[in-house]
Amino acid sequence: MLSDRVVVVKGDIVELDVDAIVNAANNSLLGGGGVDGAIHTAAGPELLEECRSLKGCPTGEAKITSGYRLPAKYVIHTVGPIWRGGTSGEDEMLARCYRNSLKLAVRNGVSSIAFPSISTGAYGFPVNRAAGIAVDEILDFLEKNSSIEKVLLVCFNERAFESYSSALEEWTTEG
Ligand code: ADP
């Protein structure tokens, strides 16, 4: 079943042994707080060095680097939208983060990938709404693409875990 290829997990994304982990980065790609800080700390200074050579990333797009000291082979850096109330194209921008990260993953032969809850930390996107968008985009993509076998939705707290779990459950019962 399609939805068996998506799993909601609780934990720290830097520890996951998958082909690629996704970073919720900022436009500079030069590191920040939250999950970005955790990924840079775990990957080591070589990651920042490679990121410097990428010259930033527009919101909604994605760029790939090596994972260095992480168990993951690659880091896919994407930049989520800053929440501005929901009428400034935030939903579509967040959807593009998932789509573009998955496209880049396929182009690089990735078959397992882990996403954090993009934009729902410092960028303030409501987690329930973000979870619905993430699940829709991922499952739409997997429907058309068989090379990605497993997508992990990594939740750092109970609240996020509940939001992503119910979004996935809703998709399964409706879809
Ligand atoms: P953004 O700026 O896109 O909002 P943040 O890093 O501030 O990014 O937050 C995105 C999400 O990542 C939040 O839900 C936060 O709780 C979560 N997060 C923070 N650290 C980690 C980690 N080590 N592993 C997984 N998720 C994390």
pLDDT tens profile 107-127? 999 999 999 999 999 999 999
Residue pair 46/68 in contact by the 8 Å Cβ criterion? yes
Of all atoms in ligand 1, which is nearest to the CA of residue 36?
A: 6
**pLDDT of 131 over the 90 cut:** yes
Any idea which residues carry the catalytic annotation? Answer: 36
The amino acid at residue 127 is V
Ligand 1 nearest-atom number relative to CA 160: 14
Query: Tell me, what DSSP letter sits at residue 119?
Result: T
- Measured in Å, residue 157 CA sits from the centre of ligand 1 at 10
Mutate to test the pocket of ligand 1, among 39, 123, 156 (most ligand atoms within 8 A of CB): 156
**Is the whole-model pTM more than 0.95?**
yes
Q: Which residues contact 129 (CB under 8 A, 6 or more apart)?
A: 86, 91
Interacting residues of 149 by C-beta distance below 8 A, sequence separation 6+: 5, 111, 112
Minimum CA distance residue for ligand 1 atom 19: 35
ipTM over 0.90: yes
- Its sign, for the CA torsion 124, 59, 141, 23, is negative
Q: Give the three-state DSSP class for 117.
A: coil
- How far the first Cα of the chain sits from its last, in Å, is 11
Pocket of ligand 1 (CB under 6 A): 12-14, 24, 34-36, 38, 80, 116-123, 154, 156-157, 160
**Cα(89)–Cα(95) distance, integer angstroms:** 10
pLDDT band at residue 175, thresholds of 50, 70 and 90?
low
Find the 35 Cα to ligand 1 centroid distance in Å.
Answer: 4
